[in-house]
Each structure stands twice: as C-alpha cells, then as structure tokens.
Amino acid sequence: MDYVTSARLLGASHFRIIFIHILPNIFPILLSSIIIGFNNAVLAEAGLSYLGIGIQPPDASLGRMLSEAQSFLFTIPWYAVFPGLMIVLMVLGFSMMSEGLNN
C-alpha cells in the first residue's frame, strides 16, 4: 500500500510500520475473522458432541446435552430447548458483538 511505501521512504522501522500503520488498518477485519472462527468452533464442537465423537462424557457439552435430551423431547421439552437456545444465543451474541465493534 502507498502508506507503507511512504513510511519506508520517511525512514520508519519495520516495527513502527507494522504496529502504527498496518495493524490499525487490519484490526476490524482481524477481529471479525477471529469471532467467525470462534462461532465455527462452537458449532463444530456442538455438532461433533451431538454425534458422539466430540467431548467425552465426564465433561459437559451442549451438543451432548441435545443428544441426550432427544429421548425426553415429548415429555420434558425444555431439556432440548435450553441447550439449543444457548448455542444460538452464544453464536448470535458473538456475531452481534463483532458487528458492534466494527462500527
């Protein structure tokens, strides 16, 4: 980019170019990428645990909670509603936070 070239011509060090000129310009994109990656990780973990190949039983997982709640779906539906709602709210919350920080 032109601002990097002009900073080099002015004699700025590599450290200054990276942290003063480049990092502030890529920060919103970097933050969005990190949060999208986190959302993908949450959904992948929940999906794998739902199938039984994710986190194993001594540890808690929202996907396993959904899987175990299937047998109680018609008698106690909130066993499935609350873990599913938490997954949706977590992913939606981090997505909204990403959008709010970008503006």
Q: What are phi and psi of 56, to 5 degrees?
A: -85, 160
* pLDDT reported for residue 73: 84
* pLDDT reported for residue 103: 65
Q: pLDDT per position in the chain (103 positions), as tens?
A: 777 788 787 887 888 888 887 888 888 888 888 988 999 999 999 999 889 888 888 888 888 888 888 888 888 888 888 988 999 999 999 888 888 876 6
What is d(CA 77, CA 15) in angstroms, rounded to the nearest whole number? 56
**Domains in the chain: boundaries:** 27-102
* pLDDT reported for residue 90: 92
Q: In this structure, is the dihedral angle defined by the CA atoms of residues 91, 96, 97 and 99, taken in order, positive or negative?
A: positive
* pLDDT reported for residue 18: 82
Would you state the structure tokens that stand for residue 31, as one six-digit string? 């933050």
Q: Measured between alpha carbons, how far is residue 74 from residues 61, 64, 68, 94 in Å?
A: 22, 18, 13, 31
75: amino acid identity, one letter: T
What is d(CA 48, CA 25) in angstroms, rounded to the nearest whole number? 36
